[in-house]
Amino acid sequence: MGKRSEVVFGNRMSSQVVKKAENSKERFVKRFGDDSDVDYPLAVVKNPYIGDTLGVSNIVIDGGVSDDIPDGGREEFDRDKGIIVGNIRMGFGHYRISMAIASAANHLGYKPYWMDLNSYSETTGGKVIEAQNKLYSMGSRISGKSKVFNKAVWEPMNYEGFRKLSYNASDQMNAELMTPVFRNVPKDIPLVATHVWPAQAAVHAGMKHVVNAIPDNWPMALHLAEGSLHTVQTRSAYLGYRTLNGMQGDEVLKPMPGDSIRYVGHYIDHELVAAIEEDCDRRIERRKKKAPMRFLLTIGGAGAQKDIFATIIRTALASVKKGNMVLYVNVGDYMNVWEELVREIPAMESLVTTHFDDWSDTTAFADKALKEEVYGIHAFCHENIYEAVYCTNLLMRSCDVLITKPSELAFYPVPKLFIKRVGGHEQWGAIHSAEIGDGTLECRDIPHTLQMMKLFMQDDSILTDMCENIKRNKLDGIYDGAYEVVKLAMDMKN
């Protein structure tokens, strides 16, 4: 291996860059060991959380996390209709894209398999990913509290550091440590990766049909997995990746070949795309009736937005009490964030209905909110990662406005109010959303966030225009990316 660290789409890396990549891999081997010769037996089992909804089965290491599989619980790989969704948990965004791909695959008649490299905790690759994930989460949280750290470290790293081809060279080398779990996976089953590491690892491991579903809207070499088919969500990202723009300073690089990249549109779940007109019409009708405006506040997978949420909730209390506003607050799997919010805002306690670790209660509320009026503040927290992420999908159908940082949720077909980004790359998600008319500009401080909330409440045309834009965007195929990715993956095989 190693050659993918030396040359990236025809652009040769310096000996210093290659040596740095080799050293990075060696450090991880010293820290976590080398399991390249280990033969991990695999099993396929129904996902107990999203298996019924999205038709998903998990690929697990048999004899490890799957010791409690009941007799008859194992499934065989479907070599005809099977499609693997390769992912990791790093924040919620990559899991969210994975669910969208699985949903589209299930709708199109295929069998999605969930392969989370981060879940294989006994492997060297799993340990590497977990260590990197902890660093990223810590950086996200610190950036939200320290302007100095954010300006000096976090923004430059997320904006320009990850953009460099030299960063890709190190990632390619490290991804070699993630290949052993692919040894017993049929190599002809298409794989869609929703993070670059599963894409790189799958290519290194000899998987034949790999699609690399690139997130965000800021081209970075971090997301390159040469040997896979790259897909992007926006036209501007297509050109940025095709030319490898800015990935080695001002140098004009050899471009990606045309058959290595496709524009597909936004990666959105079938359940949400299919209901776009219905949900948007409900929002418009609620504004006409002057029903309470529903805001969904959703914390990202690093849990870094608590302070902004606290100010929003505190400001909104009077409107909630008057029945003019409803708040959905999804803290994901961060119960500590909710506990801190309660301590900081004791006045909200009498207005809150909690929906904690009870999926049937959460789904029942989401269904009720589509049909009936709701009031007060509704708080959601689920320890299980699948429920923590998918909860937002359920709630966004009945909300009027989603309040979120411009992460992967920037691409979802719901009116959006964007709070301050976490990392410079995210700002381009807000810019794209504002340009296609389904979200606001990024509100980079509290006063501008509150101003935008007030505008939504006072000027019905803002919400109505966004809803009409979302319906037009659907007609243009902007939200069809998940379907297109699945079709491309299956076409590679056929």
| Cβ neighbours around 355 below 10 Å, total | 22
68 falls in which pLDDT band (50, 70, 90)? low
The Cβ-side half-sphere exposure at 426, using a 13 Å CA radius, reads 21
Phi and psi at 158, nearest 5°, equal -75, -20
- Let me know how long the chain is: 494
Q: What average pLDDT does range 331-340 have in this prediction?
A: 92
CB-based contact 268:413 (threshold 8 Å): yes
d(CA 378, CA 298): 12
Mean pLDDT of all residues belonging to the chain: 93
Among residues 128, 139, 204, 184, the alpha carbon closest in space to that of 193 is found at 204
The pTM assigned to this predicted structure is 0.94
Phi first, then psi: give them for residue 94, nearest 5 degrees: -70, -35
Residue 64 has pLDDT above 50, yes or no: no
Cα separation, 380 vs 242, in Å, equals: 41
What's the rounded Cα separation, in Å, for the pair 329 and 331?
A: 6
d(CA 450, CA 73): 51
Residue 70 reports pLDDT greater than 60: no
Answer left, alpha or beta for residue 322, where phi above 0 means left and psi between -120 and 50 means alpha.
alpha
Q: Which residue would you say has higher pLDDT here, 406 or 3?
A: 406
What's residue 323's pLDDT?
96
Question: What are the tens digits of pLDDT across the range 369-408?
Answer: 999 999 999 999 999 999 999 999 999 999 999 999 999 9
Residue 462 has pLDDT above 50, yes or no: yes
Residue 323: count other Cβ atoms within 10 Å of its Cβ.
Answer: 12
Band of pLDDT at residue 66, cut at 50, 70 and 90: very low
Q: Which pLDDT belongs to residue 72?
A: 54
What pLDDT score was predicted for residue 149?
Answer: 80
342 pLDDT more than 80: yes
For residue 78, give both structure tokens. Answer: 């479907």
Rg (CA), the chain: 22
272 CB-near residues (< 8 Å, 6+ apart) = 393, 396, 397, 412, 413, 479
Helices (H), 109-266: 124-145, 147-149, 155-156, 165-175, 196-204, 235-242
- Higher-pLDDT residue of 146, 232: 232
> By the 8 A CB rule, do 408 and 128 touch?
no
CA distance 239 to 241: 5
Q: What is the mean pLDDT of residues 23-37?
A: 95
pLDDT of residue 91: 76
Torsion of CA 459, 463, 464, 469, to 10 degrees: 140
pLDDT, residue 157, reads: 77
- Backbone φ and ψ of 403, nearest 5°: -100, 115
Token pair, residue 276, equals: 């776009």
Q: How many CB atoms sit inside 10 A of residue 472's CB?
A: 13
What percent of the chain has pLDDT above 70?
Answer: 96
- Using 50, 70 and 90 to split pLDDT, how confident is the model at 238? very high
Query: Residue 460 and residue 288: Cα distance in Å, rounded?
Result: 8
pLDDT tier at 1 (50, 70, 90 boundaries)?
very low
Question: Which stretches within 218-305 are classed as H helix?
Answer: 235-242, 270-274, 276-288
**Per-residue DSSP letter, 384:** S
Helices of type H across 122-191: 124-145, 147-149, 155-156, 165-175
The label of the residue with tokens 């099993």 reads 43
What 3-state DSSP class applies to 149? helix
The string of pLDDT tens digits covering residues 144-195 is: 677 788 778 777 777 788 899 998 999 999 999 999 999 999 999 999 999 9
